[in-house]
Structure 1
Amino acid sequence: MKYLKPLNALLLFIAVLISCNKKVEEINAYGNDCVFAQIDDNMDGLIDQKERIIMSECLETPLKSKNSIENNLIGDWKLIGHGEGWLPTISQPCGYLTITENELTFQFKNGHIDTVSTHSWKIEEVNNGLNFKLNIIHEYVEGLFINQFCENYMYGDATPSDGNMYLYKKIN
C-alpha cells in the first residue's frame, strides 16, 4: 500500500513522457527538424525584396472570408521569411506549423527559443470582418502573430511598431 502513490506518480510521469515524444515524432515525420544557425556577417533580420514582393502580392489577393481562411490553413506550413523592427540582428529562424481543424502544432527555433508546442486556434474577425487574425487560444507565442492570409502564404508584420514579421508558405 505504501508503494501505491510512488508507483502511480511514476506511471503518470511515463505517460506524460510518451505523449510528449509522440508529438515530436509526428512533427519530425514530415522532415521538419528545425536547424538554426546564427550568421553575424549579414543582416538577415531585415525584410528582403523577395519577402516584400510576396507580402505585397498577398495584400492584393487576400482570402476574404473567415471560412475560406480556416479551410486554407489546414495543412503544413514552413517559415520562409522574417524581419525585425528593432535592431535586426537575428538570422532566419526555423519554423514549421501543422494545422488541423482543432489543433496547431508549432516548431520554432532561433537564437533564444527552441520549442515545439500544440495549441487550440481560431480565426478572429477584426474591424467588423474587414480583417482577420490567427488567435492562439490562451497564450501569446513568438512567431505566430499572423493577420494576412492568401492562398499559399500567410504572415504578420509588426515591424512598423518595432515588432517582428513572420512569413509562412504552405508546403502541404
Structure 2
Amino acid sequence: MPRKWPLAQRVTRLTRTIPRGRWCSSAAAAAPDRTPTWFPPDCWFTVDSRFNPEEDLDAELDRLQTIIADAADEIGAKGTVDVTQFQPAAGTPSDHPAGVALARCVEEVRGVPARFEMCGEILENRWYDQLGIPAVGFGAGRLDVSHGPDEYVDEDELLRVAAVYALYAHDIRG
C-alpha cells in the first residue's frame, strides 16, 4: 500500500489558505472532499493557481516551491518544480467600453443591472491584457461553486447567457 506523502498534506493545507474565488487544483486537492490523496513512490502532479491583482506572484511561487522542497526533504525524496506558465493577474475595469457594453446587454436581457466581480479563473484574459486587448468574462453559474463538487448551472440561465452574448456581439459590431 502506498504511503501518504507529506507533500499531499501540505499542498492540501495550502489550497485551504487560498482566498475564495481563486482556483487551485492538484492531485493532492482533486478529491471532491479535498482530502489528501495517496501518492505512489514515483509520481508527478500539477498545481494551477490564478492570482488576483493585489497578490504578489513571486511571493506565492516562492511559498509553493518552499512547501514542495520542505516536504521532499522531510522524506528524503527528490522534489522538482517545473513552472510552465507564470502569468500576472489582469483585469479590465468595469467602466471600460467593453465592460459598459456588456453591462448594458446583461441589463437588457436580465432586467437587472450587471454585477462585476473578480474571477481568478479566467486565464485567457491575462494573455489578452498583455497584448493590450480588453477582456471581460461572462457566463452562467455561480463563482462560489464553480469548478468544485457542488457546481451546477441552471438551464434557463444558459439561455439568458446565450442571449447576452448574441446582443453583445451585435452591439460591438456596430
**TM-score w.r.t. length of structure 1:** 0.25
Greater per-residue helix proportion:
2
**TM-score w.r.t. length of structure 2:** 0.25
The structure whose Rg is larger is 2
Higher relative contact order (CA 8 A, sep 6+): 1
